[in-house]
Structure 1
Amino acid sequence: MENATLFGVIRWRKGEVVRVRREWPGAVELDVAVAEGECRALAYPPLVGRPEVGDTVLLNTTALAMGLGTGGYAMVVAVPDRLPQDPSGPGHLVKARYTPLQATVLGADEQGSPHHEALREADSVDGMPVVVADLHSALPAILCGLYADSPGIRVAYVMQDGGALPAWFSMSCATLRERDWLCGVVTTGQSFGGDVEAVTLHTGLLAARHVLGADVAVVAQGPGNLGTGTRWGFSGVAAGEAVNAAAVLAGRPVAALRVSEGDRRERHVGVSHHSLTAYGRVALAPAQVVVPDLPGEFGATVREQAAALATRHEIVTVPVDGLHEALKASPVRLSTMGRGLEEDLAYFVTSAAAGRHAASLLS
């Protein structure tokens, strides 16, 4: 069979940096003048160097043209007149492989890593609670629930590669690291840019435990999940695979449900079909599925929908008193699909309840 020819998969532009808007670890937000006017762009200095005002930049404007919410930036592909220096030091893992921006990183699990010996025969996370979530936006809410009941614990974020590949894209992660709400970020699979790099989710979980010394790990994809409105065509399927990985490594999988009262799409109202598919069909190992004790008719609907998972998993009902206040104290802005805390309180409370339950497993 002949290879299909693809046309128009990338929208290319050349522009000039007119201002630096803001920056956080690993990323710089810019305004760039292109033929159509000015656009908002994002550069990752570890990949392309740090663009300055007046620099010519090569842009990929595909996501911007498509009007994507999370990924609505023109991406800086290169600063052709001022290339960064060649990388130095060890590292043989190639991530974003065979793309124009493939990057070499030092994996915690590779030979030459100072952590190779600790991970070479590692086969267990020693009963560590592993909270699994569909969306990246659940991460700070889970942490709010964890720290409300267990301040001072060490929590690592293990990032899958179903959404953004660079961990630098997440402003939330940068702030959570700065506030010591995360002891580190582990990037797995094709994702990169974490404090620790790992080849697979399995070695990522082992690194969270044995390299970062985490008491709890939270597993979720990076920002910008992909969904198609079909039963199987969504990146959150990987949440079920994360349950399996946690279980095979002798962890304690805690499944955070994706619940919404504010989403206008019927398939995501109550318990999302993403959770029902990932945990009900993909997760072959048992997990503790956290169901928040939400009030009223909506709470009853959530409990009824979640009961479908009881044939494979343990359903754990968790009280939600105090979680709204804990969420309001989040060090980062809470937002999912453009909805804030008060616009979809059930989503964030459900995630926080999973964190609360994980904290109870430490006592």
Structure 2
Amino acid sequence: MIRWRWGTVVAPRISWHGSVEVQVALEARRPDDPEQVRALAYPALVGTPRVGDRVLLNVNALALGLGTGGYALIVAIPDRLPDDVDVPGHVVKARYTPLQAVVLAADEEASPLRAALSDKSDISHMPVVVADLHSALPAILAGILADRPDARVAYVMTDGGALPAWFSRTLDALRPLLAGTVTTGQAFGGDLESTNVHSGLLAARHGLGADLAIVTQGPGNLGTGTEWGFSGVAAGEAVNAVAALGGRPVAAPRISDADPRPRHRGVSHHSMTAFGRVALAPADLAVPSDLPAELSLDVHGKLQKICPPHRIVTARSEDLEPALLSLPVKLSTMGRGYPQDRAYFLSAAVAGRVAASGLGAVSGLGSVSGLGEGGVGDGL
């Protein structure tokens, strides 16, 4: 189940918050092995690799040819183990795996936030944008900050993709724009840790002082090409969590006219399952009002099928392009950048704009539909 290899670090590469990438020469290579591989280490787990270190690697991702996760992962630096670090918490993540890690949850007794969180059971009408893909995160954030640059925005990372928040170079670049990151469930490495999405939302609101939150999985969506076999189904569960805590759920449907797979054209079947079958609480479905005509007809036709309980909220998107292009990260989804899939990124940015409207007057908002029996409501 794991392809193990030994190797020796031969050169440094790059590093970012929580992660170090190095070049490793493989030892006792198998017939299909390359001579050298890119390898990733999380220093908080295994220490910091140096040139000359012998390392134990997991090379499963390389064997599978994974794009997002195409690294060998350093499991240990056995000849130079890191010092023990005493953590005041007792919450274990990646539980019962060889690399299970002890973290301090934001709401446990030893946490400095315990008093602030122990009696909290709602998020005080906080708008929360929910998307299924990690690639939507920067675009949603751009949409929020374009209209409310003073807003404190928290990222609540679920555990459907990468478990270490440190893996995401996108998140590293966005750190100056965020109030902080909360890692939930089995995910870890955020500014705050939580046991589930519910406690993560409470930590974002009352621990980080967020005005808004964004919920997505980490990098590396898992999908089998079936209606239910994808990790983003948890987006629907997140909508329910937001509603249960008295927040305002804003769903960011995955919209594209560039994806070569028919099941992801228009509104992705993933969004229809997550928001149409799993999300039982009403949410605002954010949609650009200025989509190309054919795409707009397809999107509205699909989304009307899940209204009610949801409602479609439209807002202008084209004026959000400067905010998207000024982000400190390169926009990319499934290998497509902004020029190749403008509808995807502009739709995600509109979800941020719709969420920001909950903080006060926001320009560019259009109509609301899906109220009652599917009639058209007044604009925001």
TM-score of the two chains, using structure 2 as the length reference: 0.92
How far has the Cα of 1:295 moved from its partner?
2.3
Report the alpha carbon displacement of residue 228 of structure 1 after superposing the two structures with TM: 0.3
Does the aligned pair in 1 maintain the 2:318–2:346 contact within 8 Å?
A: no
- Return the match for 1:31 from 14, 19, 23: 23
Partner of 1:99: 97
Structure 2 counterparts to residues 40-119 of structure 1, below 5 A: 40-119=38-117
How far residue 222 of structure 1 moved from its aligned partner, in angstroms, is 0.2
d(CA) in 1 for partners of 2:132 and 2:87?
35
Please give the secondary structure, in 2, of the residue aligned with 1:361.
Answer: helix
* Alignment partner of 1:309 is 2:301: no
| Alpha-carbon distance, 1:29 to partner | 0.8
Hey, what does 2:243 align to over in structure 1?
A: 247
Letter in 1 for 2:103: V
Residues 209-236 of structure 1 show CA distances to partners (whole Å, capped at 9, x for unaligned) of 0010000000000000100011111000
Q: Which residue of 2 aligns with 1:156?
A: 154
SS of 1:142's equivalent?
A: helix
Alignment of 1:181-196 (within 5 A): 181-196=177-192
1:220-235 to 2 correspondences below 5 Å: 220-235=216-231
Equivalence map 1:154-303=2 (5 Å) = 154-177=152-175, 180-293=176-289, 294-303=291-300
Cross-structure match for 1:5: none
1:338 aligns with 2:322: no
Deviates more, 1:242-251 or 1:85-94: 85-94
User: AA paired with 2:10?
Assistant: V
d(CA) in 2 for partners of 1:307, 1:209: 32
Distance across 2 between alignment mates of 1:93 and 1:228:
31
Distance 1:26 1:304 in 2: 44
CA offset at residue 299 of structure 1? Answer: 2.1
Distance 1:111 1:261 in 2: 49
Q: Which amino acid aligns with 2:258?
A: G
Q: Deviations over 1:272-292 (max 9, x none)?
A: 001000000000100111111
How far does residue 305 in structure 1 lie from its aligned partner after superposition?
1.6
**In structure 2, what is the equivalent of residue 144 of structure 1?**
142
1:323 aligns with 2:320: yes
- Partners of 1:94 and 1:102 within 8 A in 2: yes
User: Residue type matched to 1:139 in 2?
Assistant: L
Separation of aligned partners in 2, 1:306 and 1:31 = 47
| Equivalent residues of 1:280, 1:312 under 8 A apart | no
Match of 1:3 in 2: none
> What is the deviation of 1:311?
2.3
Q: Percent identity?
A: 63
Cα distance in 2 between the residues matched to 1:284 and 1:326? 33
Q: Per-residue deviation at 1:74?
A: 0.4
Amino acid at match of 1:30: V
CA contact (8 A) 1:41 1:75 kept: yes
Residue 362 of structure 1 pairs with residue 359 of structure 2: yes
Q: What are the Cα deviations for residues 150-182 of structure 1, in whole angstroms up to 9, with x where unaligned?
A: 1111000000000000000001111111xx211
Cα distance in 1 for residues equivalent to 2:150 and 2:328: 15
Corresponding residue pairs, total:
353
The structural deviation recorded for 1:327 is 1.0
Q: Distance in 2 between matches of 1:191 and 1:185?
A: 11
SS at match of 2:177: coil
Mapped contact 2:129–2:249 kept (Cα < 8 A): yes
Give a deviation string over 1:68-117, Cα, whole Å, max 9, x none.
01011000000000000111140100000000000000100111111112
- Distance (whole Å) between structure 1 residues aligned to residue 11 and residue 256 of structure 2: 38
Tell me if structure 2 keeps the 8 A contact 1:291–1:306. Answer: no
Q: Is the 8 A contact 1:309 1:315 kept in 2?
A: no
2:306 is paired with a residue whose SS is: helix
Long gaps (5+) in structure 2 = 361-380
1:49 to partner: Cα distance: 0.1
Partner amino acid, structure 1, of 2:158:
Q
Output the CA distance in 2 between the equivalents of 1:213 and 1:262.
38
* Matched-pair contact (CA < 8 Å) for 2:282–2:308: no
Consecutive unaligned residues in structure 1, runs of 5 or more: 1-8
**Separation in 2 of the partners of 1:89 and 1:237?**
33
In structure 1, the partner of 2:374 is none
1:302 deviates by 1.5
| One-letter amino acid of the counterpart of residue 96, structure 1 | A
Residue range with higher mean Cα deviation, 323-332 or 145-154: 323-332
Cross-structure match for 1:133: 131
Kept in 1: contact 2:137–2:214 (CA 8 A)? yes
CA drift of 1:14 comes to 0.3
CA distance in 2, matches of 1:304, 1:292: 14
1:118/1:210 contact within 8 Å kept: yes
1:262 shift after superposition: 1.4
Structure 1 position 252, deviation (Å): 0.3
Moved over 6 A (4+): none
The 3-state SS of whatever aligns with 1:317 is: strand
State the alpha-carbon separation in 2 of the partners of residues 310 and 256 from structure 1. Answer: 15
Q: Which moved more, 1:86-95 or 1:203-212?
A: 86-95
